[in-house]
Chain A
Amino acid sequence: MSDKKGKQREEMQSLKILIIDDNEQITKMLTTFLELKEHKCTIANDGKEGLGLIKENEHDVVLLDLAMPEFDGYAVIKDLEENNLLRERKIIVFTASTITQEELDSLVQRGITSYILKPIDIDKLLSKIVETANS
């Protein structure tokens, strides 16, 4: 009983979420969805802007797309890694790229917290975000 209440509390907790994705449709709709769930979202539509926001460290969790023009998600991960920040932040790789399990494991080993492959059911996406934020 108390476990269930605890879980509900966690889900009710308002999170600060940073979404880094060049797909404006996804960022816009995802923000609408997450804000309706009482979470606060910040959007960055390119890697460079996103990296700056990650470094400010004001977010509970970061959704990071990998395939973006110019400065992509890999470049963000590399920069954070070089600055010893990758393990300090809760980064969920959120990608539609064709990526092998081996590559995903390697990213986790380097320090990302988790990953989500697009397309994903919206409830599962929310659970993953909350779970990662509270991990």
Chain B
Amino acid sequence: MTITEAVEEGMFQSENPINELNRMLVRYDLTPNQAKVYLFLSKIGIKTASEISKALKIPRTETYHLLSTLQQKGIIFSVFGKPTKFNAVGIEESLEILVNNEKNRVSELDAGKESLVKLWNIIPKYGEDENEDQNNKFQSLQGRNSILVKLEQMIKESKENILVLGTEADFKRFYFTEFTELLNKTKSDLKILTDHSPDMPHIFESVSSKKVKKIEDKNREDFCFIIKDDSEVIFFISNNQVKDMLAVWTDSKAFVTTLRSLFSLMWKKSHHIDETDAESLLGSEITYEHRLREIEQEKIILNYLQENFQILDKDGDIKK
């Protein structure tokens, strides 16, 4: 296919399969027209700015600007001559360059954080927010990424405890992310309540089984939340599709306390994930024997006190 045929067939115009490629390139921080020019040069080969402008129907001034930006990004290069001609770097190398550019940009942003905060603090705050210190903030988190960022921040900042409640299906969205790794590394007291089928590998398998309990089917509810240090919670509202994921973060004391109580209640009723039914039953027998010994000890002290001092009433309280 010649350049004229390709252009005539509209290969570089919209509503063409090549447009899919164009859209994909846009994800690598190219504008639609930059992607179009890059693709054109990649597939057609060395061309002048004027030829590119005509073929892609992009105004000449804009074409020069696009070529200059693509050169700065390092994915096209110019060939000396009169007029100057342009050609594209191979797709694999270009993608590598674009990815590295993004990585460098993120590193620069990260490095600049500290100085930005310093500068920020230099400027005094003129308005006083009366409600700022009250723990009643609510934040809506939409989409997997924004939820993940908040979750990771909560786990990293936690100093006392992290309580996780939800099914494996709820958390499989975070497979292959830092989420489970951070849970595994946390020094806070971690408790996870989840469902688990022995036939399936479970998402929390790297976490010590002592920290994971199985939600009993009879206690199973369709909700999912994570509490940090009894002071913050992320509560999932919709967890079906990655892009539709919706959660609410809050530090509302009433909200956190309610969910904390619910978690404690369910934790008490559940048993550890690697515990068999027999072990679970044995556990309750041990508790029964344990309680009997405690009652026996109470009786011994009570009898002694009644015999020797006669100062206690029937309930074991000191007589006034």
Contacts and interface: CB of A to CB of B under 8 A. Distances in A.
Pairing of A with B: yes
Interface of A: 23, 25-26, 28-30, 32-33, 36, 67, 69, 71, 96-98, 117-122
Given A32-B312, A97-B290, A98-B289, A118 B297 contact: yes
Contact of A36 (B290, B294, B309): B309
Given A96-B290, A98-B290, A26 B305 contact: no
B316 interface: yes
B305 A118 contact: no
* Residue among A33, A69, A119 with max Cβ neighbours from chain B (10 Å): A119
Contact of A26 (B289, B297, B309, B317): B297
Interface string B292-316: 0110111111101100010110001
A118 B296 CA distance: 8
23 contacts: A26-B294, A26-B297, A29-B298, A29-B301, A29-B312, A30-B301, A32-B311, A32-B312, A67-B290, A69-B268, A71-B189, A96-B290, A96-B293, A97-B290, A98-B289, A117-B293, A118-B293, A118-B294, A118-B296, A119-B296, A120-B297, A122-B300, A122-B301
B305 A25 contact: no
B289 to A, nearest CB: 6
B24 interface: no
B254 interface: no
A26 B301 contact: yes
Given A29-B305, A33-B305, A98-B290, A119 B312 contact: no
A33 B294 contact: no
A42 to B, nearest CB: 17
Contacts, number: 55
B123 interface: no
B19 to A, nearest CB: 59
A26 B290 contact: no
B304 A23 contact: no
Nearest to B161: A70
Given A32-B312, A119-B293, A23 B298 contact: yes
B237 to A, nearest CB: 29
A122 to B, nearest CB: 4
B318 interface: yes
Interface size class of B (residues with CB under 8 A): 20 to 34
B286 interface: yes
B304 A33 contact: yes
- Majority DSSP secondary structure for residues of B touching A: helix
Contacts of A26: 294, 297-298, 301
Nearest to B286: A98
Contact of A121 (B294, B300, B317, B318): B300
A65 B10 CA distance: 81
B79 to A, nearest CB: 67
A67 B287 CA distance: 9
Centre residue among A26, A30, A71 by max chain B CB count within 10 A:
A26
B300 A119 contact: yes
A132 B302 CA distance: 24
B191 to A, nearest CB: 10
A121 B304 CA distance: 9
Nearest to B318: A32
A67 B283 CA distance: 12
Contacts of A69: 268
A23 B302 CA distance: 14
